[in-house]
Amino acid sequence: MSFLAPVLVIGGQKGNAFDFNGTGSGATLKKIWVWAGGWQIKSIKVWLTDGQSMHFGESAGDFKEFTFEDGEHFTSLSLWGNGAGTRLGAIKFKTNRSREFFAHMTDWGLKTEYPIDIGSGICMGVIGRAGSDIDSLGFKFINTIKSTVLKNVNYPTLHSVIPKVAVEEIKSMTYHNNTSEMQEYKIESSKKIIKTSSWSKQTNKQTKNYILKLKCHVSFSCWCLTM
């Protein structure tokens, strides 16, 4: 299973292909500018969180822009063609911060709306075709995140931390041998300990919540010989 959600590209087949995304570096969509003409989306400029940007098409017409805040991501996205099968016609999306962006051609009416699978809502970039206009466009999203695993965690200052150890008595027994004979007794006990900790980390596109659960089973036996 790919880590990216299925990509749906809407529009025509002319122009030059482009694919601008942060899948190699982990960068995500930070900002988008869109210029709309009468019967098409004329141009887009896209920035990623690592500072890279790309401009497609020729800037002209009605201008709109959107900058994602830290932790903000898509909750819905729809694309439209221009109705003639030749160009992109509109882009509309909403975010988890209750904000909305809608850029659309200004003269022709919108026809078929294409709801896009946004997966986790975390956008890695865009793909499509462009010449003087945006012939077609699609967005790349990380698939729905089912779980997150931390690996190779390093705590360089752990050796300098003095642990706060709580001493707990699991079981005790006092026995007095009042005879001169050797006697043998055995004491056994066990306890299951579960400790859970959680913390969160916020990035430019997502908030990650982690839960660390530690399970430990302690058992012991002690043989006592008394005289």
Residue 143 has which token pair? 């698939």
pLDDT number for residue 179: 79
Q: How far is CA 5 from the centre of its chain?
A: 12
Distance CA 119, CA 77 (A): 11
Rounded Cα gap, residues 44 and 48, in angstroms: 13
pLDDT at 207: 47
pLDDT at 77: 98
| Token representation of residue 164 | 């706060």
Structure tokens at 76: 């819905």
What is the predicted pLDDT for the residue at 97? 97
CA distance 155 to 152: 10
User: What is the model's pLDDT at position 205?
Assistant: 43
pLDDT tens for each residue of the chain, 227 residues long = 578 999 999 999 999 999 999 999 999 999 999 999 999 999 999 999 999 999 999 999 999 999 999 999 999 999 999 999 999 999 999 999 999 999 999 999 999 999 999 999 999 999 999 999 999 999 999 998 776 666 777 777 766 776 666 777 777 777 777 777 777 777 777 777 666 666 555 554 444 555 555 555 555 555 555 55
Q: Are 175 and 185 contacting, i.e. CB atoms less than 8 angstroms apart?
A: yes
Hey, is 190 helix, strand or coil?
strand
The answer to pTM > 0.85 is: no
Structural domains for the chain: 10-141 (2.100.10.30), 158-226 (no CATH)
